[in-house]
Structure 1
């Protein structure tokens, strides 16, 4: 399939949990091309193989490419985004990147806080500034009315209920959520579905609800909403309940 007509999703923050699960789910359901960003080249190769296998299991042929990117480096991130633009026609960005580590008040280095902001907030800003104009083109094209231009971001309940032992992550997730809310107010009325996938607790493969597969299935339902039904958030709680109204 020519790149100009290939539906592409970009997943930033690929990895063995939510990232690869979302990419696999979306490849099974809809996308012709999947671009994966992460820092670890070995993990990227594993993720690529997993996405290809998932698509093949439902008889779909998908092209998957990987980019080794440290998204805290804005110059490298912008370069990679420019390269991705030649890979296919952007329909969805799923931003899943975060640095999840313990941080104790007054003991966590300032430099590490700034690094966390670059990963979760600044990189999302750079990505959005690149992606939204491309997504708006699809939103405003009558010939491609069935496209679903979307910018989806993994979030948590930390913006509402911070954990002092994770204060740095709590800070940056709050900043990230507010950036997303500003994007929602500005660009959702113009036809780009901007939304948060709020994970209401700790993700684990053996968790009843908060496992990567369940989260990916919910993310797909969010992406697949009809425009009249768009929501700006969806939350999956530890008990398995799903809330489509704002929780943060």
Structure 2
């Protein structure tokens, strides 16, 4: 007799997405996907005008979306983010999506730029995890997902600060997963291998979408669907690391 497929449980608890900016960005797409799926969502970011504009555009979905402004690399802000989500409903999922990428020749990279990348990706992830994990454990489990990059696996020329920061973030996720998986917390690391079709990249390289061709860049809503799947995986078959790339991307 064929087994009945395991179905995702109905939405339970709140979702916190840290690192939300423009509406046409991955953070906003993740927030939209979960709000459309019935989860109340709290979005957090440093850029107040962008965050407020995105919040306004995300109103009217199945579940409410609220916002909190701050910097995840500051521990007090990370604590505020978690508290804001916990105040809406018991925290179920936290996504660390914060951090930028500023490529430059290595010998022209100032120390503060190198440290800035580390603070955004690694230290911010550390503070968010330290704030969220006790709450997730106390409620009996949940998910913590990091937005990663292929830079965590290999350091390309001109990307030393980004690659170093992402490698640290990936190792952080692996360590947390091994410690907190047995406590029913699903830790996931999403390796984004390719250009994201969003405001940030296309603002700097508007010609890239035409150069890559149809579906040659990662669609933000398609990436967000992967986060939805990760959160709803049955715990007998959890994914720690998931890599996503366009069909035409070389790797």
TM value normalised by structure 2: 0.82
CA RMSD of aligned residues (A): 2.2
Q: Return 5+ residue gaps in structure 1 as ranges.
A: 141-148, 242-246
Aligned to 2:20: 14
Contact 1:104 1:165 in 2 (8 A): yes
Aligned to 1:44: 51
Distance change in 2, residues 1:136/1:77 (3 Å): closer
Distance change in 2, residues 1:164/1:197 (3 Å): same
Please give the secondary structure, in 2, of the residue aligned with 1:52. Answer: coil
Contact 2:90 2:139 in 1 (8 A): no
Q: Give CA deviations for 1:10-49 in whole Å, capped at 9, x if unaligned.
A: 1000023110001100111130x21111111111122213
Residues 117-196 of structure 1 aligned to structure 2 (within 5 Å): 117-139=118-140, 149-196=142-189
Aligned partners of 1:215, 1:84: CA distance in 2, in Å?
22
Aligned to 2:91: 90
TM value normalised by structure 1: 0.82
Q: Give CA deviations for 1:63-107 in whole Å, capped at 9, x if unaligned.
A: 222111122333333344444433331100011001211132121
Shift of 1:123: 1.4
Q: How many residues get paired?
A: 223
Q: Return 5+ residue gaps in structure 2 as ranges.
A: 1-10, 199-208
Aligned partners of 2:80, 2:221: CA distance in 1, in Å?
31
Q: Give CA deviations for 1:196-225 in whole Å, capped at 9, x if unaligned.
A: 111111111556151101111111111111
Q: Give CA deviations for 1:112-136 in whole Å, capped at 9, x if unaligned.
A: 2112211111111111111111111
